[in-house]
Chain A
């Protein structure tokens, strides 16, 4: 497969993630779309790693997964805490930092 196909596939997945972040009101779904965008980048990175025959990019993908796991743990804890306070995960309600 030419490298362009992988480029377009991961670009499509990334754009779908951006649409989801802008479109949904559930904070958990927004968070899941961020995970989708991270995975699109991972896919492209592995494809470029194959193209250049360099293993460093795959190590970077491994570290991206590590950071994503830590991020999910903290982020979901924040969402659970918010849910306890305001009994909702609607991001239109969670905008109190503005006031």
Chain B
């Protein structure tokens, strides 16, 4: 086994175990920490595919910004107690069954699909480096890039309007 394969299996195992930890742990803070570990292993996969720009952005945006936001909200609400009410056993069983059934159905559908079987995902090629991605982003996708700034502005205003304390409306 090459180093590439060992890293692939290790990162895959870590991603799946940590994802299971997200949905199985009772404490929401532990769920957030497991999700951060999942994001780090997905970033490791990006590095293995030589998509280094996305790996760094994934760590900065997801593990750095979004998960800190989740952690702040959980700690502000003081939810880090283990006393979360659980759904009934029947509903949990149905959830696991339907998720597993979806998994099986898509695997059965994809098993015979005519993919390019010789396509090996290697860590060669400089496709995901910042030079190439920047050329594509600022040549072909410059309008969506600018529109995303409007989206962020709208999200920021929306979050502030929703999150501010309601003032008592005085009837005239």
Contact with A along B98-127 (1 / 0, CB 8 A): 111011001100100001110111100101
Q: Which residue of B lies closest to A54 (CB)?
A: B127
Contact with A along B5-20 (1 / 0, CB 8 A): 1001000100110011
Judged by DSSP, the binding face of A is helix
Interface size of B in residues (CB-CB distance below 8 Å): 82
B66 pairs with A68, CB closer than 8 A: yes
Given the contacts A16-B19, A18-B98, A33-B23, A72 and B121 also touching, CB distance less than 8 Å: no
Interface residues of A in 42-68 (CB under 8 A from B): 42-43, 46-47, 49-51, 53-56, 58-59, 61-63, 65-68
Expressed in whole angstroms, the Cα–Cα distance for A46 and B120 within the complex equals 13
Contacts of B12 in A (CB 8 A): 5, 9
A4 pairs with B115, CB closer than 8 A: yes
| Interface assignment of B96: CB less than 8 Å from any CB of chain A | yes
Given the contacts A22-B98, A32-B31, A46-B54, A6 and B121 also touching, CB distance less than 8 Å: yes
**Residue ranges of B at the interface with A (Cβ–Cβ < 8 Å):** 4-5, 8, 12, 15-16, 19-20, 22-23, 28, 31-32, 35, 38-39, 42, 45-46, 49-51, 53-54, 57-58, 61-62, 65-66, 69-70, 73-74, 76-77, 79, 84-87, 91-92, 94-96, 98-100, 102-103, 106-107, 110, 115-117, 119-122, 125, 127-128, 132-133, 136-137, 140-141, 144, 148, 151-152, 154-156, 158-160, 162-163
**Residue ranges of A at the interface with B (Cβ–Cβ < 8 Å):** 1-9, 11-13, 15-20, 22-26, 28-29, 31-33, 35-36, 39, 42-43, 46-47, 49-51, 53-56, 58-59, 61-63, 65-74, 76-81, 83, 89-90, 92
